[in-house]
Chains A and B, each alone.
Chain A
Amino acid sequence: MKIAIASGKGGTGKTTIATNLALTLADAGTNVQLLDCDVEEPNCHIFLKPKIESATPVTVPIPKVIEEKCTGCGICAEVCEFSAIAVVKKKVLIFPELCHGCGACSLFCPENAFVEVPREVGAIEKGSADGIIFTQGLLNIGELMSPAVISEVKKSAGDPDVLIIDSPPGTSCPVIEAVKDAEFILLVTEPTPFGLNDLKLAVGMAKALNLPFAVAVNRSDVGDDAVAEYCRSENIEIFLEIPNDRRIAEAYSRGEMVVRELPEYLETFKTCWDRIRAFSEKETSSKPNSDGTAKEA
């Protein structure tokens, strides 16, 4: 089963929940893999301290012109929607940072003058920690193509019983890339006005992707009731509530795992997992071939 942990904005406890859920499952003997897809700021490794066994660069194909073949006709610049090509005085200039790798230039060049060469935009690292199979992606600084790195992280998924994806924050393209083929999304928020606002955006995303979801409320006793009320009125279930325990904040600040430092929380994460599993079993049995558009894509 594939589940994604996501949130409308960062700093809500997404990584805490992803890592502790993974460790809770691994401790119970489940075969679990964790993918850190927050490639702009990957943090899972701080808590899991994995042994990294391999590192591979992530590349995107970018076009390169074979000058002898090029007549300087300018078609490539015309078809590039991202202004990544300019033809100046019959010479082709390519701006790699702007290139989306769509292939239009090489497809429409009448002289077949393009080859595609790999350009490094980040890396993925694989390893393991405490019985968890682990992969993380890291976007190179100054690069824009986080979806490419995320997609590579996701390709490293094996066939574990449970795959947990720590998604980037927000609802934009990298997030979509991270969560699009998940079977379930756990949306993490805080019970504050900002938390509620961001949760609504995340719910909108989950609905747009047609993915089943539930909510986790972190620091559940700090703010007001607005998040709980919203969930009640929208019929959204809350699967996990973590109180504002200063000991959790401290363990977090030192990069330690909550379920190791404060074993009383093991039960909290187990319960959350049981709910996710029960929910997804119900989903699959009640709606056999339901709306799989997002899964196919």
Chain B
Amino acid sequence: MKEIVVISGKGGTGKTSIVASFATLAGKAILADCDVDAADLHLVLNPVIERREDFSGGKKASIIEENCIGCDRCIEECRFDAISYPDSGKADTPRVNHIFCEGCGVCFRVCPADAISFKQAVNGEWFVSSTKYGPMVHARLGMAEGNSGKLVSQIRQEARSIAEKENLDYIIVDGSPGVGCPVISSITGADLVLVITEPTLSGRHDLLRVAELTSFFRIPTIVCVNKWDLNADITGQIEQEAREHNVRPAGRVRYDTSVTSAQIAGTSIIAFADGDVSRDIRDLWNSVVTTLDGGAA
């Protein structure tokens, strides 16, 4: 069993459309949508939810008004400015703003009056579903929640255990954008990272940042320039620079408005139309498989 993570630097480069296409091509595979901040894969794979679980990103503090003596110790010690008196002026006890609470427990421990409860907060849900192309693990993170890294790890873990149980060949992960917390959780320990980028100067800049990250974690990395024909010169430059950073160009996918049409139809481009762009993606998948089987792990 091999795990491939598809990431993009910044998102919006067509990553999810390509993952959905891989799903239709991969055969015995499980999908994991780890782009938990902006999960879109379900929109084209129409999963049927079979199991749902609550997700807790950690604890959050709340003030128990009856007990509070208004000493303000919690406000003084909270380094995340999460506790304050509400503006309206009516309440005489401070409140915790859960959006800013990091769950460090300092307030709970300094409060002299037992006036703070500190409990696991449910702030998301994750699902095991079935799709036409195999099982899928995905999630919904609560609004304005942190700790997406932990949720990403849980999704990958679940996908791995299902893959083992059902003896699947591939885990295909739709990874998170950026180079920070959730993307690090998306890629650590994977067999291969595929970066989808665009032929733009910002795409090039983002690819180099991501390549630095994957080499930091020593994960074999390949790249595909999506919509490459929008600027063939920059595509060439990106591929050249990628090679210099030990990132092998594994394919190019052309610009085609049918990719958007497939999305609107709620299906993958491969299932939607069998044109040139579908052929590009097929070639890319074949190249991924060759890399994975050629000992990239």
**Could you say which residues of chain A place their CB within 8 Å of the CB of B87?**
289, 291-293, 296
CA gap between A292 and B97 in the complex, in Å: 13
Question: Interface size on A (CB < 8 Å)?
Answer: 60
Of the candidates B38, B87, B200, B206, the one having the most CB atoms from chain A within 10 angstroms of its own CB is: B38
**Could you say which residues of chain A place their CB within 8 Å of the CB of B200?**
252-255
Given A81-B59, A100-B102, A193-B43, check contact A201 B38 (CB 8 Å): yes
**Could you say which residues of chain B place their CB within 8 Å of the CB of A144?**
149, 180-181, 184
Contact A104 B12 (CB under 8 A): no
- Chain A's closest residue to B17 (CB) is A194
Contact B38 A100 (CB under 8 A): no
Report if A59 contacts B (CB, 8 A): no
Contact B178 A40 (CB under 8 A): yes
What secondary structure prevails in chain A residues at the interface with B?
loop
What secondary structure prevails in chain B residues at the interface with A?
loop
Contact A81 B180 (CB under 8 A): no
Contact A192 B81 (CB under 8 A): no
Report if A237 contacts B (CB, 8 A): no
**Could you say which residues of chain A place their CB within 8 Å of the CB of B167?**
none
Report if A101 contacts B (CB, 8 A): yes
Report if A154 contacts B (CB, 8 A): no
CA gap between A21 and B40 in the complex, in Å: 29
How many pairs of residues, A versus B, come closer than 8 Å at their CB atoms? 198
Contact A249 B230 (CB under 8 A): yes
- Chain A's closest residue to B200 (CB) is A253
Given A10-B12, A79-B105, check contact A255 B202 (CB 8 Å): yes
Given A41-B9, A43-B206, A144-B149, check contact A209 B144 (CB 8 Å): yes
Given A141-B209, A172-B148, A176-B99, check contact A104 B109 (CB 8 Å): yes
Contact bitstring B84-107, A, C-beta under 8 A = 1, else 0:
101100000000010110111110
CA gap between A174 and B178 in the complex, in Å: 11
Report if B132 contacts A (CB, 8 A): no
Given A10-B11, A141-B179, A170-B38, check contact A102 B231 (CB 8 Å): no
Contact A102 B206 (CB under 8 A): no
Of the candidates A172, A173, A197, the one having the most CB atoms from chain B within 10 angstroms of its own CB is: A172
CA gap between A223 and B142 in the complex, in Å: 28
Report if A108 contacts B (CB, 8 A): yes
CA gap between A41 and B103 in the complex, in Å: 27
CA gap between A278 and B58 in the complex, in Å: 41
Report if B279 contacts A (CB, 8 A): no
Contact bitstring B60-98, A, C-beta under 8 A = 1, else 0:
000000000000000001011110101100000000010
Given A40-B180, A142-B213, check contact A205 B149 (CB 8 Å): no
Contact A81 B58 (CB under 8 A): yes
Contact B205 A102 (CB under 8 A): no
Contact bitstring A72-106, B, C-beta under 8 A = 1, else 0:
00000001011000000000000000001111100
Contact B43 A40 (CB under 8 A): no
Where the two chains meet, the residues of A that have a C-beta atom closer than 8 Å to any C-beta of B are: 8-12, 15, 40-41, 43, 46, 79, 81-82, 100-104, 107-108, 139, 141-144, 146, 168-174, 176, 180, 192-194, 197-198, 201, 204-205, 208-209, 222-224, 249-250, 252-255, 289, 291-293, 296-297
Shortest 5 CB-CB contacts between residues of A and residues of B:
A11-B12, A102-B104, A10-B11, A173-B146, A10-B10
4 A-B pairs besides A9-B177, A201-B143 with CB distance below 8 A are A102-B79, A104-B105, A146-B180, A172-B148
A selection of 5 A-B contacts at a CB cut-off of 8 Å is A9-B40, A142-B184, A201-B38, A222-B257, A253-B201
